[in-house]
Structure 1
Amino acid sequence: MSLSYWEATIYRISEYKKDCFVINLERFWGWIVGLRQGGDGGE
C-alpha cells in the first residue's frame, strides 16, 4: 500500500509542477509578446 501511495504522491507532484511550468511559460510568452507589440512598435 505504501508503495502505491508514494507513486500516487509523486505523480501528483509531477502533474502539479507540469501545470506550474505551463502557466509560467504562457505568462512569460505573453510578456514577450506584449513587449514586442508595445515596446517595439516597428513590426
Structure 2
Amino acid sequence: YELRIPHPRTGRFLEFRAPVPRDMVKAWGALGGEWPEGIILEDPV
C-alpha cells in the first residue's frame, strides 16, 4: 500500500508505505493478477 497526502500547512507530501497483506497477495495470485514493479508484497505462506 502507498499513501501520499499533502501536509495541510506546508503543502509538502507525506508518504506512507506498507506491504500488501498475505491474504490479498494470495487472492490476487489465484485470480491470475500481476503486480506492478515496485510493489512490496508479504510472502504468501
With normalisation by structure 1, the TM-score equals: 0.28
Q: Look at both structures and tell me which one has the larger radius of gyration over its CA atoms.
A: 1
Higher relative contact order structure (alpha carbons within 8 Å, sequence separation ≥ 6): 2
With normalisation by structure 2, the TM-score equals: 0.27
The structure with more helix, counted as a fraction of residues:
1
The structure with more strand, counted as a fraction of residues:
2
